[in-house]
Structure 1
Amino acid sequence: MPRPWKTTFGLTALVSLAFVLATLVIGLLAYALTHEAMEVQLDHRTATETSALLERAGAGGTPALAELIHQRDAGHSTASLGYILVDPQGRRLAGALDAQIPAKAGYFELLHYGKDGAIAQALITDLPDGSRLLVAADRTVIDEMDITILKLFSASFAAMLLLAVGGAWTVGAVTRSRLRRFDDAAQAIIGGDLTQRMPLDGSDNEFDGVAKSLNHMLDRNAALVENLRQVSSDVAHDLRTPLTRLNNRLDEALAFSGDKRTRAIEAAIAESHELLEVFSAILRISEIEAGTLKRDFQELALGDLVEDVVETYAPDFELSGHALHSTIHMGLRIRGDARLLSQLITNLLDNALRHTPAGTTVALNLTASEAFVILEVCDDGPGVPATERDRLFSRFTRTEASRTTDGHGLGLALVSAVAQIHGGCATVLDKPGFAVEVRLAR
């Protein structure tokens, strides 16, 4: 069942409604405070006028007070103020205000006066001789202020409500339009167009951020699919020969007898072991490229690890007539997998041993930049033609010069995969001999 409050329009409408309600509360609060302030002002005015009358009348008592009220009524010197002065028996002594004086002394909020039912705010004061004085201020100014505030508030509330509905609809429409473009791209990808990507509008907003992340994911998936296709093609192409040899060995074993059959079977077993090693290497590279091994990454001292591998290979280099020199900056630490990094270094050193003649000097350097740890393995051997360097990190790639040596062209492919899973890359440097630089994120 749809839940409108979980849609873009619904969420926007809820936020807008909250602003509308806030406007309503603020408006009512402003109205109440303003109304109360005006009433307090009128009370203060009646109290001030009462004090002024009593002070001026002074010792003259009620007759002097009545005279002052006559003067004020005659001269209209106090606009919107009205007066009533009555004796102890309730007979009017002065004051032209057409109203009945309340029985109770003090402030009286709603005093009706005149034939048209006007309302005043009054202060009734009991005098020492039993007389009573009423001073009233007309409430028309409060009523006019109330009407003005209500009109302004109604207009503001209507505008806010209109903006809320319009804003919710606009945000919902824009969001639906952008999501529809995402959905169209997704449907195209589902339909088989793997080149399709989420659209960007160049605004660098949240939608563009999500689109970039999705496109990065799609690029990664496309690369994995291409890898799978390439692996299938490479396996079909490069393993055809060893599989054919294995088949021939088995055919020979069937045809021979005695020692010849034994030797044929042993040769077939050797071929099968070689094929198993190739498949294991391919699976290892695919596992690394999938990125699932990142969950096992730990903080490790790369300098110590490199030093251990170099010490392990030193005897092999010495026996083969190669020279191995290393410059290792100790104390460099990264997050990674020690086994994968050991395999990376091993492959580079194996590559130097296998494809360079005796007397070659191999140098291993471990340094660092601000963002990367840099491992460089270079030699002064015959090197690789520049035209072949770009494809060296692809599976089953072997140069013409290396086809007479053992191997299947998977060593540098694994080096590249390990570098990438550690947030870096592997490149062949343009130097004399052969040099590989591996960058690993710090």
Structure 2
Amino acid sequence: MIRRLARSTSGMVALVAMGFAVATLAIGAAAHVVTHEALEEQLDHRIAVETDALLHEARTRGFPALAKAVRLRDSARTSSSLDYLLTDAGGRPVAGNIQTSPSPRPGKEELLRFRRGGYPAVGQSLTTTVSGGTLTVAADRSDLDEIDRTLETLFACALGATLALGTGAAAAIGWTTRRRLAEIDATARAIIAGDLSRRIPRDGSNSEFDRLAGTLNQMLERIGALMENLRQVSSDVAHDLRTPLTRLCNQLEIAAAGADDGKRMEAIREARIQADDVLEIFASVLRVAEVESLTARDRFATFDVSELLVEMVETYEPEFDSSGHHLRTDFAAGLVVLGDWRLIAQAVSNLLENTLRHTPPGTTALLSAECDTDHVAISLTDDGPGATIDDAERLFQRFVRAETSRSRPGHGLGLALVRAIAVGHGGEAVVENGHEGFGVTIRLPRA
């Protein structure tokens, strides 16, 4: 039963309410016992003190003086006074205001039944044998019983209030939880049914449910973006593969129909080139997917980006010179990051290749790097014609190219790989604006 209740929010609240009720009951019972015992001890002490005073009277002045003292106390009696019974050696009453049957035995008695003025009562008593008779001093327990009943009523009310509040809280929390979960469930069912634009409503309270709704909405936005990206990639892959596959089929048909061995071999070579182009597209797509899966983080190590840039400049500077481009540098030493040397080198290589491929001779490119408190920024800017696409950020998507005719070599995957590498390192890649030409900056967290 308890395990069953613990599986729901309302059940958990009900268990907590039951726990508070049991704790209230235990505290009430303990307080009742302690209070009752303390009051009984107080009555016993009062009886003992009064008995000692009367026994002193009997020892110093004798039995008649004891009887006179009992009568005086009886005549001055109030509602809070003690009760007395003094009997002679034969058990006959001599003084006092109570009657008992049979006569009390010497010693303490917790529940002595007696009559006072013809009315029955119960009290605590102490009976002592004195010279010439027996003295009984009693205290009525009616006040003690009244206090016990009052305490029991208070604790019963506290227990009932605890149970009522616990039940109400369980119902309220259960209703709130079910309502919010119902919204999440309805959104999930709508998305399963195909409505990918559906989002979980938020109330702006910044509560646990509101923050959860925000997190789930961000996840759904990410999933929606990935689905859109997948759709775009599928379309772009089909578009980019159509031309090389069509050429491949044409070359194979020429090879199959050709009677001349030379023409047949030329057609086969052209078909091989088209097949390599198709394989290059698939290899690039797989490379981007591998980087986006973050599996490369297993190879992360601390290294100096400045040393990497020096090697990249030494590698590409001859190619820049031979193509009529100019490459300048501006970076300091000691730019340390945590990452994969090979991947960062790939990203910088893609930027340099794009400059060589998409800018005319005479273009000057600047490879620079700087650091701030948290990041190292690697930038490659040029003074070339720039990008003709309206939204330059779209260049980071797969198969998106600045020139729509697609007459130049490439498949639109270079910058997609650059951004994937940057994001995989916990950074970002952005297009630089505010200057002529084109520029991309990769920001990586410092080690």
**What is the TM-score when the length of structure 2 is the normalising length?**
0.88
Q: Are 1:31 and 1:146, in contact at CA under 8 Å, matched by a contact in 2?
A: yes
Inter-partner Cα distance in structure 2 for 1:22 and 1:356: 80
Task: For 1:232, give the aligned amino acid.
Answer: S
Partner of 2:437 in structure 1? 433
Pairing partner for 1:378 from 370, 378, 381: 381
Pairing partner for 1:206 from 188, 205, 208: 208
Q: Does 1:117 align with 2:120?
A: yes
Inter-partner Cα distance in structure 1 for 2:103 and 2:336: 97
Partner of 1:270 in structure 2? 273
Inter-partner Cα distance in structure 2 for 1:75 and 1:95: 12
Q: Does 1:82 align with 2:83?
A: yes
Pairing partner for 2:219 from 217, 224, 228: 217
Q: CA deviation at 1:69?
A: 0.9
Change (3 A) 1:170 1:352: same
Pairing partner for 1:133 from 135, 144, 156: 135
* Deviation digits for residues 340-385 of structure 1 (CA, Å, limit 9, x no counterpart): 3332122112222323344544333333344433222222333334
Q: CA deviation at 1:422?
A: 2.9
Partner of 1:143 in structure 2? 145
Inter-partner Cα distance in structure 2 for 1:264 and 1:294: 40
Partner of 2:257 in structure 1? 255
Query: RMSD between aligned alpha carbons?
Result: 2.8
Partner of 1:397 in structure 2? 400
Partner of 2:8 in structure 1? 7
Q: Secondary structure at the match of 2:104?
A: coil
Change (3 A) 1:271 1:326: farther
* Deviation digits for residues 146-183 of structure 1 (CA, Å, limit 9, x no counterpart): 11111122222222222222222222222112211111
Task: For 1:323, give the aligned amino acid.
Answer: L
Q: Secondary structure at the match of 2:17?
A: helix
Partner of 1:30 in structure 2? 31
Q: Secondary structure at the match of 2:390?
A: helix
Q: Any residues of structure 2 matched to 1:93-108 within 5 Å, and which?
A: 93-99=94-100, 101-105=103-107, 107-108=108-109
Q: Does 1:367 align with 2:370?
A: yes
Q: CA deviation at 1:388?
A: 5.2
> Which one is further off, 231-240 or 337-346?
337-346
Q: Are 2:294 and 2:424, in contact at CA under 8 Å, matched by a contact in 1?
A: no
Q: CA deviation at 1:56?
A: 5.3
Q: Secondary structure at the match of 2:442?
A: strand
Task: For 2:191, give the aligned amino acid.
Answer: I
Change (3 A) 1:308 1:70: farther
Change (3 A) 1:261 1:386: closer
Q: Are 2:332 and 2:369, in contact at CA under 8 Å, matched by a contact in 1?
A: yes
Q: Does 1:406 align with 2:409?
A: yes
Q: Are 1:360 and 1:379, in contact at CA under 8 Å, matched by a contact in 2?
A: yes
Change (3 A) 1:149 1:388: closer
Change (3 A) 1:79 1:142: closer
Task: For 1:228, give the aligned amino acid.
Answer: L
Change (3 A) 1:97 1:220: same
Q: Does 1:422 align with 2:425?
A: yes
Inter-partner Cα distance in structure 2 for 1:380 and 1:22: 79
Q: Secondary structure at the match of 1:124?
A: strand
Partner of 1:351 in structure 2? 354
Q: CA deviation at 1:402?
A: 9.5
Inter-partner Cα distance in structure 1 for 2:97 and 2:154: 37
Q: Are 1:84 and 1:101, in contact at CA under 8 Å, matched by a contact in 2?
A: no
Q: Are 1:374 and 1:440, in contact at CA under 8 Å, matched by a contact in 2?
A: yes
Change (3 A) 1:44 1:308: farther
Inter-partner Cα distance in structure 1 for 2:301 and 2:128: 89
Q: Secondary structure at the match of 1:194?
A: coil
Inter-partner Cα distance in structure 2 for 1:72 and 1:388: 108
Q: Secondary structure at the match of 1:12?
A: helix
**What is the TM-score when the length of structure 1 is the normalising length?**
0.89
Q: CA deviation at 1:229?
A: 0.6
Inter-partner Cα distance in structure 2 for 1:46 and 1:418: 92
Q: Are 2:335 and 2:370, in contact at CA under 8 Å, matched by a contact in 1?
A: no
Q: Secondary structure at the match of 1:117?
A: strand
Pairing partner for 2:289 from 286, 290, 296: 286
Task: For 1:183, give the aligned amino acid.
Answer: D
Q: CA deviation at 1:305?
A: 4.4
Q: Are 1:124 and 1:133, in contact at CA under 8 Å, matched by a contact in 2?
A: yes
Q: Are 2:335 and 2:376, in contact at CA under 8 Å, matched by a contact in 1?
A: no
Q: Secondary structure at the match of 1:438?
A: strand
Inter-partner Cα distance in structure 2 for 1:212 and 1:345: 36
> Which one is further off, 236-245 or 66-75?
236-245
Q: Are 2:252 and 2:268, in contact at CA under 8 Å, matched by a contact in 1?
A: yes
Inter-partner Cα distance in structure 2 for 1:401 and 1:182: 43
Paired residues in the alignment total 438
Q: Secondary structure at the match of 2:441?
A: strand
Inter-partner Cα distance in structure 2 for 1:86 and 1:242: 130
Q: Secondary structure at the match of 2:376?
A: strand
